[in-house]
Amino acid sequence: MRKLKVAMIGGGGSGSFFGKVHLRAVSLDGTREVTAGVLRHDPKAALEAAEEWGIRGFPDIATMVKAWKAGDVELDYAVVTTPNFAHYAAAKSCLEAGLPVLCEKPMTLTVAEAESLAKLVKKTGLPFVLAHTYTGHPMMMFAKTLVADGAIGEVRKAESWYNQGWLATALEKTGQQQASWRTDPKRTGISNCGGDIGTHAFIAATWVTGLAVRKVSARLNIFVEGRKLDDDFNVIGELSNGGTALITATQIAIGYKNDNGFRIYGTKGSLEWHQERAETLLVRRGTADETYWIGAGGYPASVASYLRAPSGHHEDFFEALANLHTTMERLIRRRNGEEGIPEPFAHPGVEEGVAGMRFVKAAVESSKKKGAWTKV
């Protein structure tokens, strides 16, 4: 089986961590490989980084897609993993050239950009996957299928959260790169905490339940003095079926590494999942609590087809992200007419990206209006 060739856009900076994360997620299965890229914004730095990575470097995206169109380089899709502000232009360039895109989240800087991108994806019909990594966890995929199958009845309430502590102090003043661009409105947009991790909580509440958030009442806080964007994000939302969503995120929870998770309460049962214990899903619907384990069965074929390891051997962060690449791979191979390719899972795409952008925008507005209910 021919390996898919992947181009990486961004991710080559010395302080970047997601570039290498995607490299590993692409490489893991031995069916895809990163072979080219525009790893940094500065053309010279981009070429140097590519050499260091051992891939074919391009000084900019335009040059790369041109080379691809000219048959000068073989590419199957691009990964966009630049800082937020550059997502839109990068994704746009690829899509316009006909190259499928797997894009980091938040999808764009503004709702307008997001909507424009959605139109482009629709027009081109190209595969587009949004890198909501945690949705690649098999137990989160399993949760989605359980809700869809009615296992917990009608959803009444969704609680989702994302607690981190790394921005509890003014880390950005130390020059730490991740902290610097995330707290800078120019590079990050209107929300730091909401956009960076609140969107993950949003996806947990909506993607798993298959529901939208219709309106929100929010309180965003800036706890660290001198910061310009929120580092704490609290939203009560109304779901499209009339239910309630409680979506919170914080970066000032000292000692919490990556405490992302959700609880979904339905008329017949409940689901609970924690990213820091990603391998188990807790289902409550009878006398005993049920704990499902990755690799130990119970989930449908749509989930099972993504698993790599036997029972008890966990797959975690890299494998979850690799699953999004697998979805992209399946979309592309099926599009290419390859046979025997399993069905791709319904991972988040451009529509979820638009919804996430609108959600953050509504939350920011509601918070400014002292929590007034605001339409998403």
Q: Is 67 helix (H, G, I), strand (E, B) or coil?
A: helix
Nearer Cβ to a copy of itself (11/344):
11
**82, two tokens:** 């630049």
Please select the residue that binds a copy of itself; options are 187, 314, 334, 335, rule is CB under 8 A: 314
* Interaction pattern, residues 37-66, with a copy of itself; x per rule: CB under 8 A: ---------------xxx------------
Of 135, 188, 206, 275, which lies in the binding site for a copy of itself, with binding defined by CB under 8 A?
275
Q: Which of 81, 82, 135, 234 binds a copy of itself (CB under 8 A)?
A: 234
Polymer length in residues for the chain: 376
Interaction of residue 338 with a copy of itself, rule CB under 8 A = no
Tell me whether residue 113 or residue 230 sits nearer to a copy of itself (CB atom): 230
DSSP 3-state percent helix, strand, coil across the chain (nearest 5): 40, 20, 40
Q: How far apart are CA 234 and CA 255, in angstroms?
A: 19
Rounded CA-CA distance 83/67 in Å is 24
Residue 92 vs 182, nearer CB to a copy of itself: 182
Instruction: Give the shortest CB-347-to-a copy of itself separation in angstroms.
Output: 18
Regarding 24 and contact with a copy of itself (CB under 8 A), the answer is yes
Task: Report in angstroms how near the CB of residue 22 gets to a copy of itself at its nearest.
Answer: 10
Nearer to a copy of itself (CB atom), residue 130 or residue 253: 253
Q: Indicate whether 254 belongs to the interface with a copy of itself (CB under 8 A).
A: yes
Interface residue with a copy of itself among 150, 185, 210, 312 (CB under 8 A) is 312
Count of residues interacting with a copy of itself (CB under 8 A): 89
The structure tokens listed for 182 are 């995330």
Per CB under 8 A, the list member of 255, 337, 339, 340 interacting with a copy of itself is: 255
CA distance 281 to 285: 13
> Does 106 sit behind a cis peptide bond, omega within 30 degrees of 0 on the bond before it?
yes
Closest separation in Å from C-beta 124 to a copy of itself:
29
Q: Identify the residue whose tokens are 């909401």.
A: 194
Q: Which helix (H) or strand (E) holds 326?
A: helix 317-335
Q: What is the C-alpha separation between 101 and 88, in angstroms, rounded? A: 11
CB 59 → a copy of itself: shortest distance, Å? 21
As a whole number of angstroms, the distance between CA 279 and CA 315 comes to 7
* Residues in 137-156 that interact with a copy of itself by CB under 8 A: 152, 156
Report how far residue 106's alpha carbon sits from residue 91's, in angstroms, rounded to the nearest whole number.
Answer: 13
Q: Which of 62, 148, 301, 309 binds a copy of itself (CB under 8 A)?
A: 309
Rounded CA separation 125/355 (Å): 19
CB of 29 to a copy of itself, least distance (A): 6
Q: Which helix (H) or strand (E) holds 217?
A: strand 213-221
Residues from 195 through 224 that contact a copy of itself (CB under 8 A)? 217, 219, 221, 223
Which of 81, 160, 164, 183: binder of a copy of itself (CB under 8 A)? 164
Q: Is 21 in the site for a copy of itself (CB under 8 A)?
A: yes
Answer yes or no whether residue 301 interacts with a copy of itself by CB under 8 A: no
Q: Which residue has the tokens 């629709």?
A: 122
H or E segment at 20?
helix 18-27
φ, ψ of residue 342 to 5 degrees: the values are -65, 160
Sign (positive or negative) of CA dihedral 25, 27, 33, 38: positive
Which amino acid is residue 80, in one-letter code?
V
Q: Looking at 20-28, 61-69, 143-151, 179-187, which segment touches a copy of itself (CB under 8 A)? A: 20-28
Among 95, 278, 357, 364, binds a copy of itself (CB under 8 A): 278
Binding piece for a copy of itself, criterion CB under 8 A, among 30-38, 88-96, 98-106, 142-150: 30-38
For residue 305, the one-letter residue type is S
Residue 198 CB, nearest distance to a copy of itself (Å)? 14
Residue 157 is a binding residue for a copy of itself (CB under 8 A): yes
CB neighbourhood size of 257 (10 A): 12
Out of 276, 336, 338, 368, the residue judged to bind a copy of itself by CB under 8 A = 276
